Amino acid sequence: MATDTAPETYVCAVCGEAAPAPMTAECNWCDQRYHLNQRNDVEGKDCGQVWIDEQYMALQFACNTCLKGDPSTGAGRSSAAPRPRLITRPRKYKRRP
């Protein structure tokens, strides 16, 4: 049985370029893959951000498209519009009783 050991390649949802699987992350808002360099010792492209959510003590991933505006249209928000709080998104999981 032969196995392919080559890593998968995705297309970045922000810039449209090819991105190897170890250099990507999945956005928590639009569920699309984007470039995210997860190492400081390797050069890489960042098309989004990751941070620690202090309320849930979990990592939050977001692409630049979702951080700038409505992810369903891919359009950035105007500079006059207030920036929405990112933690107001409904959970994808159920809270334990």
- Count of Cβ atoms closer than 10 Å to residue 17 Cβ: 11
The pLDDT assigned to 81 comes to: 36
- Report how far Cα 51 is from the mean position of its chain's Cα atoms: 11
> Please, which residues bridge with residue 62 across strands?
49
CA distance 46 to 63: 9
- Rounded to whole angstroms, the Cα distance separating 20 from 91 reads 28
Mean pLDDT per block of 10 residues along the chain (97 residues) reads 65 93 92 91 91 90 88 43 45 63
